[in-house]
Amino acid sequence: MGNYTITVLPGDGIGREVTDQAVRVLQAIASRYGHSFTFHHALVGGAAIEAEGDAISDATMEQCQRSDAILFGAVGVPTKPGTNQQIKPERSLFRLRKGLEFFANLRPVRPFKALLNASSIKPEVLQGTDLIVVRELTGGLYYGHMEPGIPGKPSEIRETDKGYEAIDTLLYTEGEIERIVRTAFDIARGRQKKVTSVDKANVLSSSVLWRRVVDRVAADYPDIATEHLLVDACAMHLIRRPSNFDVIVTENLFGDILTDEASMLASSMGMLPSASLGTRKTEHGIFGLYEPIHGSAPDIAGQDKANPIAAILSAAMLLRHSLSLPREAEAVEAAVEACINEGYRTEDIQEEGKKKVGTQEMGQRIAAAV
């Protein structure tokens, strides 16, 4: 029994729909195990730009800092043709990740047995897949555009006498690489003891440095098998022999792309959760932000079609890492698996002969199974 504070940032599009279901499941956990969860809801993304003039307000940032964990939905609104939107909804996410120093993004991929046939990849290929992508989250190509004009890290479109040109900077310091790589090796110790570092060292200087740091860190972990893989080859192996991977560690953009691909191993974008962690500890555990890997999916928003499982499994990660409640996290995961085994399916994972349900019904059933 304990008292915990969770900031809920539903965001835009299906972010709101799936977050509602994750909160519903957390409430079921609270009453089943006698915990007290206090939820503070706040606006982020397009919703916050409309209401408050910024993608995330200072007050919301402070609220996040005061809580044990953040449950995040998704941000992003369709850009209206002809408009030049100055503040992008994504700014809220970048500000949270960077401002709260959530440099490690953990994305586990473990397809449910009952869904092996729902994937577009053959079940015999998927068999035995249990991997985790450790994505660097606060460096690389992503941050130039956040605050224009940061010295040494240009990211802009500019006009020249030969027309427009655009520049992005992929910058990593040794320290930034080392902390994410150590995180990956520490995680591997509790798993199958294998780290695959993914880069593009035949082309990029940042990757050459990345590889050097990985080799240096690996020397401190003689019990862990280390391999290097180029990102293009990794993309291929990921769908050819996914069960060969244990821990994959990679830079920001590569991790983004590879995990959208990896979601197909679990059969849908709507199935993969994530945790973003830094080094700060709260009274209860590691301070973190939890969100599905998918975006706001405007194409299916407002239709009760979105799969809430990625958000609900993100809530399970929140229970495990930030609240140190592993038994409760397992209860959520078991409830999700029970509903899938009983044949309930949202449209994205629908198969013949299964029971099709909407976002809300799936959430209700999982909460009831808890």
Q: Looking at 4, 88, 200, 221, which residue is catalytic?
A: 200
Amino acid at 121: I
Question: Can 172 be counted among the known catalytic residues?
Answer: no
Q: What angle do CA 164, 231, 179 make, to 5 degrees?
A: 95
301 is in an annotated binding site: yes
201-260 positions binding ligand ATP, by CB under 6 A: 260
From residue 147, alpha-carbon distances to 93, 97, 154, 171 in Å are 13, 14, 10, 15
Query: Cα(357)–Cα(28) distance, rounded to whole angstroms?
Result: 20
244 is in an annotated binding site: no
7-66 positions binding ligand ATP, by CB under 6 A: 14, 18
Question: DSSP letters of 300-331?
Answer: TTTTT-S--HHHHHHHHHHHHHTS--HHHHHH
144 is in an annotated binding site: no
Cβ proximity to ligand ATP: between 14 and 366 the closer is 14
Helix (H) or strand (E) holding 169: none
253-292 positions binding ligand ATP, by CB under 6 A: 260, 268-270
Of 200, 194, 206, 207, which is closest to residue 244 (Cα–Cα)?
Answer: 194
Question: Can 54 be counted among the known catalytic residues?
Answer: no
Nearest approach in angstroms of CB 275 to ligand ATP is 17
Binding mask 302-341 for ligand ATP (x = CB under 6 A): ----xx--x-------------------------------
246 is in an annotated binding site: no
Nearest approach in angstroms of CB 341 to ligand ATP is 19
Nearest approach in angstroms of CB 308 to ligand ATP is 7
Nearest approach in angstroms of CB 22 to ligand ATP is 11
Q: Please name the residues in contact with 269: beta carbons below 8 A apart, sequence gap of 6 or more.
A: 260, 263, 292, 293, 294, 297, 307, 310, 348
Cβ proximity to ligand ATP: between 320 and 345 the closer is 345
Beta bridge partners of 288: 69, 277
Q: Please name the residues in contact with 288: beta carbons below 8 A apart, sequence gap of 6 or more.
A: 69, 70, 102, 275, 276, 277, 278, 317, 318, 321, 322
Indicate the burial class of 52 (C-beta count within 10 angstroms; 0-12, 13-18, 19 or more). Answer: middle
**Total of residues contacting ligand ATP (CB under 6 A):** 18
Indicate the burial class of 356 (C-beta count within 10 angstroms; 0-12, 13-18, 19 or more). Answer: middle
53 is in an annotated binding site: no
Nearest approach in angstroms of CB 219 to ligand ATP is 36
306 is in an annotated binding site: yes
From residue 7, alpha-carbon distances to 22, 80, 107 in Å are 13, 30, 21
Nearest approach in angstroms of CB 228 to ligand ATP is 27
Cβ proximity to ligand ATP: between 288 and 295 the closer is 295
Question: Can 142 be counted among the known catalytic residues?
Answer: yes
Cβ proximity to ligand ATP: between 183 and 296 the closer is 296
295 is in an annotated binding site: yes
Question: Can 168 be counted among the known catalytic residues?
Answer: no
Cβ proximity to ligand ATP: between 70 and 74 the closer is 74
Cβ proximity to ligand ATP: between 89 and 278 the closer is 89
59-118 positions binding ligand ATP, by CB under 6 A: 74, 76
Instruction: Indicate which residues carry an active-site annotation.
Output: 142, 200, 232, 256, 260
Q: Point out the annotated binding site for substrate.
A: 97, 107, 135, 232
